[in-house]
Chains A and B, each alone.
Chain A
């Protein structure tokens, strides 16, 4: 959906056509839900927080001045709501130690991944991503899946540019560590079959 289109629907909602908001919800529900799910790692909670995000969005729609994309503005609300929920629940992820990464390691993991069928690879990557701490998981998701720019991520998370870059780098390294540990059994199987 284009920014102009978004603005048209926003204007309609602000003029009293509440049902026009359903178009905005339909357009962004998958994006918001996916990001929230990456942060919470719990479907029910993600659904609840996503709904809460859209309701808060509706209630504060008059405060949206169009300085950023509507999606970025929604992400910001979702991110804050998630942080509050995480604080309340105080769930802890099992964090993996980040090991030093070498070029060879990246290439060997890549080779193994290429040997796995796309669907299985996608499922495995999803599982690996879920093993990361929620903040790293959501940053990777926003940057690579939703393709938000650094500037947009800074706006959503309220972190400094340097901080976002450091956290992203750490997240990438941790992801590779997790994937490596998960593909190692595959690697043994792979060579065992040969």
Chain B
């Protein structure tokens, strides 16, 4: 009985004085900060990268390649006869003149190093520019 009264008294004490404490308030732009963060995250999720060649196109390509291999086999003899009729001697008959025959290149070492350096710089620039534009878009 005495213990209960003691607990009740302590309970009343805590209740009275804790309820008197003023509630704390967060900063003024608290809600804005949360909404901004949520909306940004949503926007990031919306940007989904699609492959250049979609699955549908890949399927068509594979189907085309497979059919190129299998249709002639199935067609059998008829395809063989058809191929025999085609004149494939064009490559052997064709005479392509060598345009560079009269030209002779005498390149110094330093010139070839300069060309090599230019090539390296262009390759590096491609990577740097790609990253730069990607960051700007993000």
Interface residues of A (CB under 8 A from B): 18-19, 21-22, 25-26, 29-31, 33-34, 37, 46-47, 50-51, 54-55, 58, 101-103, 106-107, 109-110, 113, 118, 121-122, 125-126, 129, 140-141, 144-145, 169, 172-173, 175-176, 179
B34 at the interface (CB under 8 A from A): yes
Residues in B83-122 with C-beta less than 8 Å from chain A: none
Q: What 1/0 mask marks residues of chain B from 37 to 65 whose CB sits below 8 Å from any chain A CB?
A: 11101100000000000000000000000
| Residue contact A122 to B20, C-beta cutoff 8 Å | yes
B19 at the interface (CB under 8 A from A): yes
B124 at the interface (CB under 8 A from A): no
Interface residues of B (CB under 8 A from A): 5-7, 9-11, 13-15, 17-27, 30-31, 33-35, 37-39, 41-42
CA distance A100 to B109 in the complex (A): 95
| Residue contact B6 to A101, C-beta cutoff 8 Å | yes
| Residue contact A144 to B30, C-beta cutoff 8 Å | no
| Residue contact B20 to A144, C-beta cutoff 8 Å | no
CB-CB under 8 A from A173, the residues of chain B are 10
CA distance A144 to B15 in the complex (A): 5
| Residue contact A140 to B18, C-beta cutoff 8 Å | yes
20 contacts between A and B (CB under 8 A): A25-B30, A26-B31, A30-B24, A30-B25, A31-B23, A34-B24, A55-B38, A58-B34, A103-B5, A103-B9, A110-B13, A125-B18, A129-B18, A129-B21, A144-B15, A145-B18, A172-B11, A173-B10, A175-B14, A176-B14
